[in-house]
Amino acid sequence: MTAQPPVVEEVPPATADSSGAAERPTPTRASRLTKACTGRVPRYLAVVLVAWVAAELAALFGVPAPSLLAALALGAGLRIALGREISVPADASKWTQAFIGVMLGSYLNLEAIRTVGPVIAPFLLISVLTIVLSMFTAWALSRAVTALDQRTATLGLMVGGSSAVVTLCDELGARKDVVGVMQYSRVLLVSLTAPFVMTALAGTAAATSRQRVTDLQIVGRGDQIAGLSIAIVFAIVGMWLGRKLRLPGGGLIGPMLVAAVIGGAQLTRGFAPQGAFKELLLIVVGLEVGLMFDRRMLRRLAHLLPAIGVGILFLCGVVALLAAAAARITGVPLADAYLATTPGGINAVVASAAGSGDANMALIATVQSLRLIIVVLALPLIVVAMNRLAMLKRPGATATKH
């Protein structure tokens, strides 16, 4: 018998129609519309709308800083209930910080700087003392809680620039999850309490909230398009400048400097966010703070939360006493001194101050911004010093054992 050649089945050449991708069902117009309506951005826009309605309702009941507090409560509730389903888009956070920087810069005109100048020294001293106090509290906390090392405790309790501090964790060898919870817990505490403290100390925030009406104005000038265009240009140039100069918190400080220099020189005016635009920015800030808290992370670090809470309360309490001393020395109203020195996020502080028409925004913006710069510049040096101190202790301990 002769061997038969093997039978080779012909396989049709692969075509676009026979590819795996082509075999997938083509999405229908209805499915595409459903996906677009239930995507991340539409969900976030729906949350912003609900927060806006909640802020208007809160204002009717006289809640201070209603845009901030209503959005914060909504964001925290959603994040704890739904986990990571909703978060602030990175672009929304970036532009919000930039426009808040523009708003802060609008308060720093020449007249305001002259007013702030004579009293700035005591507040800068308090800023330095606050940093030292943060380090001392972190040292005591790391001694009392064995699961918390000093480097992580120092970054976690360092005042100002919470987002910048968290980004330094990997480089400086600290636990990012613990630092994040400590930083955002402090921001949450200040955000929740600052509007009520303003009401108690100044007595104006609640009255302002009750008189609140929906204002569709977006900038402080008649020509809304021109004013908004100037604000956008300031935000873009400021963000570029912040990156170029590697400024700490450059996304906020850069636009603030641009707006302060150009607006302070009276080259233009009426570019600061007002009315509905400002309320929208404050709502985004509140949502950003509230949505920081992940229930899984909180559950994992539950054993550390009591000690962290005590450290934060101690730090905030002592800084409030320092603010009271500065107010007495300088004659600055206690409410302004408190907001200028309180160890919270600058965005949350601005949102709280915006609820009162009598707040000295020039003082608050100047002191908070300078402290942010001091903290971010000093933090690497502080950690290097701690590392060298730890290295000096190790040989001594080894020699003692031998």
What residue ranges do the domains of the chain occupy?
Answer: 41-85+92-393
pLDDT digits (tens, 9 = 90+) for 252-286: 888 988 998 888 777 888 888 888 898 898 898 88
pLDDT at 99: 93
List pLDDT tens digits, range 315-360.
Answer: 999 999 999 999 999 999 898 899 889 887 676 777 667 655 577 8
Closest listed residue to residue 56, CA positions, set 71, 41, 44: 71
Cα 359 to Cα 336: distance, rounded to the nearest angstrom: 6
pTM over 0.95: no
Tokens of 372: 């942010």
How does pLDDT run across 127-160, given as a tens digit for each residue?
899 989 998 999 899 888 888 888 888 888 888 7
* Distance, CA of 33 to CA of 45 (rounded, Å): 16
DSSP state string for 208-277: HHHT-------BSSS-HHHHHHHHHHHHHHHHHHHHHTT-TTHHHHHHHHHHHHHHHTTS----SB-HHH
Tell me what the mean pLDDT of segment 19-35 comes to. Answer: 54
Region 46-68: what's the mean pLDDT? 86
CATH for 41-85+92-393, options being 3.30.1490, 1.20.1070, 1.20.1530, 2.60.40: 1.20.1530
**What pLDDT is recorded for position 398?**
47
The 8-class DSSP code of residue 62 comes to T
Percent of the chain's residues with pLDDT above 90 = 13
3-state secondary structure at position 206? helix
pLDDT at position 164: 62
Which pLDDT score, from 0 to 100, does residue 234 have?
94
- Distances in whole angstroms, Cα of residue 264 to Cα of each of 105, 121, 140, 256, 284: 8, 22, 44, 11, 27
